[in-house]
Chains A and B, each alone.
Chain A
Amino acid sequence: MSEPTLHAGPNPASLGSAQPAAPAEVDSTVEAGLELKVRSQWTYARMRFLRHRLAMAGLIVLILVFGAGIFANYIAPYSFEQIDLTNVLHAPTLTGHHVFGTDEIGRDELSRVIYGIRTSEEVGVFVALVSTFVGLVIGAIAGYFGGWLDNLLMRFTDLVLTLPALVVLLTVAALLGEGSQWRISLILAFFFWTTVARVVRGIFLSLREKEYVEAAKAAGGGDLRIMFRHILPNTLGPIVVSATLAVALAILTETALSFLGFGIKPPTPSLGVLIASAQNNPQDWWLTVFPGLLIVIIVLAINFIGDGLRDALDPQQRRVRA
């Protein structure tokens, strides 16, 4: 199929780079005379990442927030379903027992938010891991071998792109979701893998013609060995970046689905569920504000980390401005 070349525009993937790219890494490692410390690409990548201030800030925030979610049992002051009928719809106080206030049957909002973080992080990480793995394998096979699988992959992506993602997800979730966290995660993963697959396919497609692949073939390397030992490492940078951003996208999508009533359903305390159930008491702002604030913080932190990773791992994508 002939499509117009749309590559003249800016790369949408690099839109998010708020932090100006650090000036290109100069080998300034001359120590004690003329000795050069040998450093691998990964060392350089790690150094670039550690110097990315916004990414480091995002990482610290994310560790704190996700840590709270993981250790919800120990950190949350109450259980997410403990009812306190003497304190119904209590406004947030800094001095009282309920820092984030309580809902209409007196459940502690702070505890519910912390358990909600746990649900959201589980969904985000699960979707990112599964979709990345599936996308990696299918993209690699499609890009390396081409043929019917390649065709199928591209046609499937076209299919998914015909309708807005949310519309398709809502339709599928209405049938298969059943309000269960793992079913929703699987549905999301099923729609997310195509992005990774397309990226991996593109890289495989261009690298399989390279001389070093030919050399590996001449040396007697099998297809699998060439795919996974010779070509795959070149895709790791973009994949790590897209997997990171997939966590954020999955969390945002899950909360939207749950809010509309087609995602996770109560009693599971997802951040989206909390906001949805807050609509019974629209006057009590804290029930809406706090879960949403946590979503913004999580997604913002992940996006910053993703940017830092892109700058560190994918130097070609860096916008080096003189």
Chain B
Amino acid sequence: MLTYITRRILFSIPVLILSTFFCFAFVSLAGDPRQNLLANPRFSRVHYHMLAHQYHLDVSIPVRYWYWVQDVFTHKLGNSLLTSQPIWPDLTRVMGHTLQVIVIAEVIALVLGVAVGIYSAIRQYSFFDYTFTTVSFVGFAMPTFWLALLLQIAFTDIYLKWHVRIFYTSGLNSGVTSSTWSIDRLQHIALPVMTLSIISFAFYSRYMRASMLDVISTDYVRTARAKGLPERKVIMRHVFRNALIPIVTVAALNFGALLGGAIVTETVFSLDGMGYYFITKLGQLDVYAVMAYLAVTAVFVILFNLIADILYGYLDPRVRYE
């Protein structure tokens, strides 16, 4: 087991280096971020060239990449190109916001998805099953940003028509400062959470249903029924517990990807999270900020891939790591 984990981690290092290098090259080639600074009339030419030297914009891309890698380890991901501010504090702040939103959203989606999936499977082809099948099909077909916009429009209209503020439709707080767990904060993150959990729910409920049906048709379930166990016990003890295994791994993978921020949802609701940070910095061609984001996201994905594999092996003893 330990050798397996070590090997996986060692294997992911070249993948990480290659993927960050390609992204680095792409963002660097996309344009010169100093163009925006030149628009400022008080910005001198001398400073312009100084910046190039300071941020190694005047050397070739592989060399710049090497400087960047050094920065990652010695200066906690380095400074932003445009604001000269350290990236790390910004990144931890937005990560906190993203974490709060996606943990709530994923928990809601998982609990509801698993419950609906179980019931749909044991009452296959019932009205309930068909209803939620339709729901998840529409969920699959719906662009996330469109769902987010619809919610935004609906709650803006409610506010404008009746002057009732149920949920805020953009931002994180009303005031300048706010604690992480205030009513105000919850009113702000409710719509992003709703968007994300609807999309994830569509997936989880469908997945759980398929997983349940897979297990229900196995021989050991037939055996359990044949020896006279009550149906409730068969479902809860024999089917449910085994059907949960794949969904746990899928949820771990999904969670790892979402830690990179729900780009679309955060953009729609101007939520100061990872995804919004990425989109803003990419638009400004701020190479080092974008790269910091990509590196952190890639590490999350690799880490949760590993967690998913280990979880799977732990939950399902039939899986062997050689």
Contact = CB atoms under 8 A, between A and B. Distances in A.
Interface residues of A, number: 57
The 5 closest A-B CB pairs, nearest first, are A9-B246, A292-B146, A299-B141, A175-B30, A10-B210
Interface stretch (A106-114, A127-135, A160-168): A160-168
A296 B138 contact: yes
B144 A256 contact: yes
A319 interface: yes
A162 B302 contact: yes
A319 B322 CA distance: 31
Interface string B12-46: 10011011001100110110000000000000000
B133 A162 contact: no
A321 B290 contact: no
Interface of A: 1-6, 8-12, 14-16, 18, 20, 155, 158-159, 161-164, 166-168, 170-172, 174-176, 248, 252, 255-256, 259-262, 272, 275, 279, 282-283, 285, 288-289, 292, 295-296, 299-300, 303, 319, 321-322
Contact of B319 (A1, A4, A174, A261): A4
5 contacts: A155-B15, A161-B301, A163-B23, A292-B142, A295-B142
Given A175-B30, A275-B145, A4 B312 contact: yes
B143 A255 contact: yes
Contact of B214 (A10, A167, A259, A283): A10
Contact of B140 (A16, A158, A260, A285): A16
Taking residues whose C-beta sits less than 8 angstroms from the other chain, chain B's interface range is 35 or more
A252 to B, nearest CB: 6
Grouping DSSP codes into helix (H, G, I), strand (E, B) and loop, the B interface class, with mixed when no group exceeds half, is: helix
Contact of B19 (A159, A256, A319): A159
A238 to B, nearest CB: 18
Contacts of A175: 26-27, 29-30
Nearest to A289: B150
Contacts of B150: 288-289, 292
Contacts of B290: 171
Contacts of B16: 162
Interface string B279-320: 100110100001000100110011000000100110010111
Interface stretch (B76-84, B88-96, B259-267): B259-267
- Residue of A6, A155, A171, A289 with most partner-chain B CB within 10 A: A171
Nearest to A7: B319
Contacts of B282: 170-171, 174, 262
Contacts of B316: 8
Contacts of B140: 16, 299, 303
Given A15-B206, A260-B263, A319-B213, A171 B23 contact: yes
Given A16-B206, A168-B23, A260-B279, 14 more contacts: A4-B319, A5-B320, A6-B249, A8-B246, A9-B246, A10-B207, A18-B134, A159-B18, A162-B16, A166-B263, A282-B152, A292-B146, A303-B137, A321-B217
A142 B110 CA distance: 38
B187 interface: no
Contacts of B18: 159
Contacts of A282: 152-153, 156
B283 A167 contact: no
A299 B142 CA distance: 8
Given A4-B319, A275-B149, A164 B11 contact: no
Contacts of B190: none
A20 B125 contact: yes
Contacts of A289: 150, 153
A3 B279 CA distance: 34
Contact of A256 (B26, B143, B257, B278): B143
Contacts of B15: 155, 158-159, 162
A16 B143 CA distance: 17
B98 interface: no
A3 B294 CA distance: 25
B249 A164 contact: no
Nearest to A279: B149
Contacts of A159: 15, 18-19, 22
B301 A171 contact: no
Contacts of A303: 137, 140-141
A272 B124 CA distance: 37
Count chain B CB atoms within 10 A of each CB in A14, A18, A295 and give the residue with the most: A18
A261 B283 CA distance: 9
Contacts of B249: 6, 9
Contacts of A168: 23
B264 A259 contact: yes
B197 interface: no
Nearest to B310: A4
B251 interface: no
A75 B267 CA distance: 35
Given A164-B297, A261-B283, A321 B137 contact: no
Contacts of A260: 145, 263-264, 267, 279
